[in-house]
Amino acid sequence: MAGLVLTFTGLAGPYWPVVIAGLYGAGALIAPPERPAPPGFPSPSERLAEIRADFGELGGYLADVDLPPAAAARLTELTELLAALLEPGWVAEALARDPEGVHAVSRTVRQDVPEAVDAFVRTRWWTRLTPGTESPERHLERQLGLLHEEAGRLASALRDAEQRRQESHTRYLEDRRQ
């Protein structure tokens, strides 16, 4: 713009193309460079939606597996807790704000539960061929119990975070009153 003003006012004289080109070049050097767009990683809500879909697929797999009653009861407790954590709503939003929690639920749904159940099914077959070894049912029950404890700790941590949030808001309102 300054080059056009200099040209039309006659101050650039016969050198007006050089003045305009020079000012344009100076502007191009001063201007910030174009920055590349950041990568489009999935948002926490999108990640939870993917985990929900995988959890549904896991439920179909678990429905086809024949488990002993004690292990089936432990598995039901675990899947109910995971379903409550993944249910859309404020709980899932609280979980989405905790990347470690999202990772723990993802690992439980995508890796730990399928591995525990698959190992049980495979080991149960081998145990029939070699009786007298430790029962695979006991291992499965212990594994599911440990996974339930881990999910319970996550739920407790989310509850504690919400409780701290509530207490913080109470303190804020009390401080504002003074």
Percent of the chain predicted with pLDDT > 90: 54
Work out the number of other CB atoms within 10 angstroms of the CB of residue 37. Answer: 6
Output the pLDDT for position 8: 66
Question: Rg for the chain (alpha carbons), in Å?
Answer: 31
Among 2, 58, 9, 6, residue whose Cα is nearest residue 27? 2
Quote the pTM value: 0.72
Output the pLDDT for position 108: 97
Q: How confident is the model at residue 13 (pLDDT cuts 50, 70, 90)?
A: confident
Among 111, 110, 115, 108, residue whose Cα is nearest residue 140? 115
Q: Which residue has the higher pLDDT, 53 or 132?
A: 53
What are the pLDDT digits (tens) for 86-108? 998 888 889 998 889 999 999 99
